[in-house]
Amino acid sequence: MGKKHLGTLVVVFVILLMIPALAVGQGKSAAGSGKPQRLSFAGGPSGGAYYPISLACAKIFMDAIPGLQVDVAASAGSVENPLLVGTGEHDFGITTTDTAFEAFNGVTRFAGKKLGDLRIMFSGLSGGRIHIVAGKNITSIEQLRGKHIAMGPEGGATPVAGMLILEAYGIRPDEVTLSYVSYSEGMTMLMDGQVAASFAAGASPLPAVQEVAARQTFEYNLLSLDPKIGAKITAKNPVFGVGVIPAGTYGRQKNDVLVLQTGNIMLTNANIPENVIYELTKSIFKNLEALYAAHPSAKVLKLEAAASSMVIPYHPGAERFYREQGVWPKK
């Protein structure tokens, strides 16, 4: 064999060796090839509603695209998720509408951290309700002054909303002791007598709160907002609203409970190829029953409302699907 042919074979061999390395180097971006390899969710804190919904979405995605691996990692929740998705560390994550707006525009909590690659995949998930669970001797929010409180994970929206509530009642930050822990850990601390109350955000019924309600030997109270104070908070912070946890949602809950709440949306990253997000968005709305089974709060998700929140732009792949389905808003 001549040197010219030998040299050609060497070049071909080197190229063949490089192909797998190139595929690995692409990582998540390999999704654009039509044969995505790996995607991931920032799943939210354990004990919340985000995590089981993320797990269900991941399974739907893997069933829709053969060979796709979708991982779900625990995260702090609605404030951390936009950071993780906007920087490309994860590909999907649920957050609140107010947090998405702030992150995309780089304002307030995200000042100097503008995350312009954030996109909406779908909206219409049940609003995140701020649950305040206390022991039997605490019957009103005013009584939390001077107490030790589990405020949810640091980096989530719960501490932000929680402090808005406390401050609206005239309770200063230096008048309470705060622990930043997962919702499940916070409820365990409550039941063990380590804290007087535990805050948790998410659509009801919230698994962490259900754990408290299921312990028959522990007496608890869900604390309700005063309607006037709720109106005061929302007037200053219009991204929030006042919602209701209906009586009977949790064991031994006899009355409706007024709470602060926000809307929830599924985020993705602008750099994921259009065809991939199109197929994955379509897979969600072809398998809504599987999503509904993951958590009761997911049952409010409907195709008709999936393109209803324009707080930040939608991903082109999702927009294409909604236009095809005739649910994209007309200007």
Give the domain ranges of the chain: 34-125+264-325, 128-263
User: Is 128-263 in the same CATH topology as 34-125+264-325?
Assistant: yes
Query: 128-263 is classed in which CATH architecture?
Result: 3-Layer(aba) Sandwich (3.40)
The bridge status of strand 197-202 relative to strand 38-42 is unpaired
Please answer whether residues 222 and 133 qualify as being in contact, where contact means their C-beta atoms are separated by less than 8 angstroms.
Answer: yes
Side chain identity at residue 147, one-letter code: K
What is the pLDDT at residue 34? 53
What is the pLDDT at residue 237? 80
Give the mean pLDDT per block of 10 residues along the chain (331 residues): 46 38 36 67 91 97 96 94 98 92 93 97 87 97 98 87 96 97 96 98 89 95 95 82 89 93 92 97 98 89 89 96 94 69
Options 3.40.190.10, 3.40.50.1370, 3.90.380.10, 3.50.50.60; CATH of 34-125+264-325? 3.40.190.10
Please answer whether residues 257 and 134 qualify as being in contact, where contact means their C-beta atoms are separated by less than 8 angstroms.
Answer: no
What is the pLDDT at residue 21? 33
CA dist 297 and 310 (Å) reads 21
What is the pLDDT at residue 26? 34
